[in-house]
Amino acid sequence: MTRSNPDQRLSRRVRALCMGGAAAPWAVVFIASAQLGSGFDELNARLGSAAPTGAGIGLGMGEALEGSNYAPNYPVTLMSGPSGASGHATNVLNTFRARAPGATQVWSWEALDYLQGGFLRFGGPAPALPPSGLKVFNHSWIASGEDAASGNDVIRRFDWQVNRDQTINCVGATNGTPYLMGGNYNGISVGDSGGASALTPGGGRDGAGRMKPDLADFDVESGTTPRVAAAGALLLETAATDPGLAANPDADLAVVIKATLLAGADHISGSDPNPWTNNPSTSGATRGRTSTPYDARFGAGFLNVNSAHLIFTAGEVNSSSTVPVDPTIGPRGWGFTSISSNTRRYWRFSVAETADEVTIVATWPRIVNSTFTSWSLMNIDLTLHRVADGSTTLLPLTGDAGVPYFASGNVVSESDVDNVELLVVRGLEPGEYVIEIFRETGATSTGVAVAWIMPEPKPQPCVGDLDQNGEVSGSDLGLLLADWGEIDSPADLNDSGLVDGADLTILLNAWGLCP
């Protein structure tokens, strides 16, 4: 069955039947295209010629038919038989390759064939192995009209394949109910600037009531989805080439890439009429707690690949099974940790000055059995605690106890259904803090990826560098001598109230490059 399109976002719709196995009617439609942004320009400006391009990362595309065509107007490997050029597929690939130009190897599937014999093998054997080198999938299409059993079979296969092959699977999720592909656990569902507010449906479907999308961007989904896919390609290339990551077997895990993208997302500020929020309690004993990790419209926020890259290249920091005595992490980074039932893992950090915004993400995969008949999902809670210098005693930030320490946001994320928890803390005061993940009992054990970002400490001024050029030299000496005997001067280096010989001694002792 087809469905209505009141937003006029879907420019074409087609109808087809699943063939073989448990037949189910699906209406498959593609969703419409894009523009630049999302931190790519900032990443390229920061790194210049060293910026990743997606080199060596192959792309798999699923596309609904446009007439009788599903492939882009580009040299690709056709996986679903002959095809002419689809304008929609071409636009999607152009959007991807404008941001990941080094990712030149592309495999193209017609969407229904991808669901059935061509890849996921709906109702049949295990999904096919992806071609060698294919590490990212882009699905700028949706399907609807499936019954619950058929939908569950498809999404279980999708999640199982991500776990087996560690691919980054990006899926467009339209406004309203997240249809067939958008309800996945282990991929990244992508919404748009219109606000893709949705909960996964019930009616016998797996995992009712989960929040979607995972990420958003400033366009409709056929443009946002390949931008997120391109960001994944850039991070995967970085995992293979960055000296600090290339030898780390955790760096190219799908859940780690997902965590860094979610943590790096931008949040619409409080100056906007509808700022980003995951609706924490704002008063009383529950202040700072939420059971809804995402913003209802934009998920973790808006894609920012530059921030994600900064988090990723800061490197992995192992968790601790006990509260660390000293800080273990810096302003950016990530970890991947196993966690047993009814246990906790910790990271500790220090804030030197009020942090405008601190973002911390935990995410983990659903585990599906090899016959696709059952699945399990860990239940993880994510909490930020305060801790006194040199102490390991955790102090609460919820309720009135947290009022002096953070201005707004959440310090506890405790969804019982989602496979992500997210803290966005604003106005976090100086002090020491501990990140905790807690796993409740039950479910198959999997690794948890945690990623964080907070403002870098401002560099301390270099004593004696009066002209602020990065070194103490003759020009600084000239400035000091020009103010000799003056009061209220920057050259009063010891704050004695007068520029004199003591200040000259300080300057001469600091002579040379600033540290």
Domain boundaries, the chain: 14-240, 316-458, 471-513
Q: What does the pLDDT profile of the chain (515 residues) look like in tens digits? A: 222 232 222 222 223 322 233 333 455 665 544 444 599 999 999 999 999 999 999 999 999 999 999 999 999 999 999 999 999 999 999 999 999 999 999 999 999 999 999 999 999 999 999 999 999 999 999 887 788 999 999 999 999 999 999 999 999 886 556 668 888 999 999 988 776 667 888 889 999 999 999 999 876 667 889 999 999 999 999 999 999 999 999 999 999 999 999 999 999 876 677 789 999 999 999 999 999 999 998 999 999 999 999 999 999 999 999 999 999 999 999 999 999 999 999 999 999 999 999 999 999 999 999 999 999 999 999 999 999 999 999 999 999 999 999 999 999 999 999 999 999 999 999 999 999 999 998 899 999 999 999 998 877 778 999 998 889 999 999 999 999 999 989 999 999 999 999 999 999 999 987 87
Rounded to two decimals, the pTM is 0.86
458, 499, 498, 453: which is closest to 478 by C-alpha?
499
Domains 14-240 and 316-458 share a fold: no
Name the CATH architecture for the domain at 14-240.
Answer: 3-Layer(aba) Sandwich (3.40)
β 58-63/408-409 pair status: unpaired
Question: Which residues, 6+ apart, have CB-to-CB distance to 45 below 8 Å?
Answer: none
Residue 513 has what pLDDT? 78
Residue 179 has what pLDDT? 65
Residue 3 has what pLDDT? 28
- Using an 8 Å Cβ cutoff, are 309 and 239 in contact? no
- Using an 8 Å Cβ cutoff, are 299 and 211 in contact? yes
Tokens 């934009």 sit on residue: 298
Residue 193 has what pLDDT? 77
324, 322, 372: which is closest to 344 by C-alpha?
322
299, 274, 302: which is closest to 211 by C-alpha?
299
User: What totals of helices (H) and strands (E) does the chain contain, helices first?
Assistant: 9, 27
Residue 36 has what pLDDT? 40
Residue 27 has what pLDDT? 55
Residue 330 has what pLDDT? 97
CATH number of 316-458: 2.60.120.380
Residue 122 has what pLDDT? 95
